[in-house]
């Protein structure tokens, strides 16, 4: 039962932070497109790990530094938006799961890496190639 509550809190924090981050005036954060991919809050609501993904990977470290420096302001705004007994301390972490997923998808599409399930059927029709 408590896990369901934490999941709802995580979703609400993710939604609020996604709305607050574009309002930051830090040039390190404004320079790149930042996406909050996942939020993981401890059960006692003291700490919250916020996983962020940046479109331009060269700016990723700067964006995370900018978010860490703005963590106090974000925490205060989050506390006003989400009514909890404790507003968790925000810890920002760079997330590479989107890049990793794209890499796995690329490997799965490579016939040298993954052999087809039915060797007699070497070619597969895509949705664009299939007759209507």
Q: What is the pLDDT of residues 15-51, one digit of tens each?
A: 999 999 998 988 888 877 888 999 999 999 899 999 9
- On the 0-12 / 13-18 / 19+ scale of CB atoms within 10 A, 66 is buried
Contact indicator for 66, 24 with CB cutoff of 8 Å: yes
Q: Please, what are the domains in the chain? A: 2-109 (3.30.300.20)
Q: How far apart are CA 9 and CA 50, in angstroms?
A: 13
Q: Please tell me the pTM assigned to this model.
A: 0.74
Answer yes or no: is pLDDT of 111 > 70: yes
The predicted pLDDT at position 131 comes to: 64
């Amino acid at each position: 039962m408590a896990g369901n509550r934490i999941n709802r809190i995580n979703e609400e924090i993710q939604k609020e932070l996604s709305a607050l981050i574009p309002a930051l005036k830090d040039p390190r954060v404004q320079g790149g497109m930042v996406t909050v991919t996942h939020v993981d809050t401890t059960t006692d609501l003291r700490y919250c790990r916020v996983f962020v993904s940046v479109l331009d990977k060269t700016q990723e470290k700067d964006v995370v530094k900018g978010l860490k420096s703005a963590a106090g302001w974000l925490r205060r705004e989050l506390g006003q938006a989400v009514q909890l007994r404790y507003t968790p301390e925000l810890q920002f972490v760079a997330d590479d799961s989107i890049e990793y997923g794209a890499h796995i998808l690329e490997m799965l599409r490579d016939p040298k890496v993954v052999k087809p399930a039915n060797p007699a059927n070497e070619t597969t029709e895509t949705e664009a190639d299939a007759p209507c």
